[in-house]
Amino acid sequence: MRASLTLLLSAVTATGVLGAEAPIPGYGVEVLQWDIEVAVGRTEVLNGTVQEVYAQALQINPKFTLTIAAEARDVHQKQKRSSVQCGNWPLADKGRIQQGINYLRGAPAAPRNGPGPGNCGRVSCSYNSAIWWCNDNTTPKTLDSWNWVADSAQHIVNTCAPAAGSVSGQNFESGNWNTIVRGDSC
């Protein structure tokens, strides 16, 4: 089972992904599935943002905890394989986005997103600040870990708002996927 949270997810307000509008007009919205070990030896498939999945896991096992890692992996290498566009979206609170990034770093299993192009899943949303992960491949996309999405969002924060309190942007990754950080309704 996972170690304890350093930031309390239970204090985060989140809305359902099913009612979410795509971050880009014409794109689809994917309700992401997470394979979560909710208790030793018991894995469940849960749906939604990291905040919603955490709440579902707590309903199954009130002692459920999630590890949160605060450090990015090799961001210098990440900058070589992506292209960031700042702005063009409603602004998000940088602190809430950073919390979402940290939560994603502790998420177990490999993220999966349905086929695109233009298929997006809202992976984190709290206090009107969202992180979206989009697949532009014609086939489903699986990444090695949630750190890839967290690193991509971190690159947006570092590039678009190094000293500001608000941020929005999109990071296009090699492999035909991208991450969007923006203000959103949640």
Is 186 inside any structural domain?
A: yes
Is 66 inside any structural domain?
A: yes
Long-range contacts from 154-159, C-beta under 8 angstroms, 24+ separation: 154/72, 154/75, 154/101, 155/75, 155/78, 155/79, 155/82, 155/84, 156/84, 156/86, 156/181, 157/94, 157/97, 157/98, 157/101, 157/181, 158/75, 159/84, 159/86
- Residue 184 belongs to what domain range? 1-9+27-71+81-186
Rounded to an integer, the average pLDDT of 114-124 is 94
Is 161 inside any structural domain?
A: yes
Higher pLDDT, residue 79 or 107: 107
Is 62 inside any structural domain?
A: yes
Residue 2 has pLDDT above 90, yes or no: no
Is 174 inside any structural domain?
A: yes
Rounded to an integer, the average pLDDT of 50-73 is 80
Least-confidence region, from 106-115, 137-146, 153-162: 106-115
Residue 57 has pLDDT above 80, yes or no: yes
Average pLDDT, the chain: 83
- What is the per-residue pLDDT across 139-156, written as a single tens digit (0 to 9) for each? 999 999 999 999 999 999
Q: How confident is the model at residue 108 (pLDDT cuts 50, 70, 90)?
A: confident
Rounded to an integer, the average pLDDT of 63-92 is 72
pTM greater than 0.85 (yes/no):
no
Is 135 inside any structural domain?
A: yes
Is 168 inside any structural domain?
A: yes
With left for phi above 0 and alpha for psi between -120 and 50, is residue 20 left, alpha or beta?
A: beta
Is 60 inside any structural domain?
A: yes
Amino acid 67: pLDDT:
66
What domain count does the chain have? 1
- What is the per-residue pLDDT across 6-29, written as a single tens digit (0 to 9) for each? 222 322 323 344 457 888 888 888
Q: How confident is the model at residue 36 (pLDDT cuts 50, 70, 90)?
A: confident
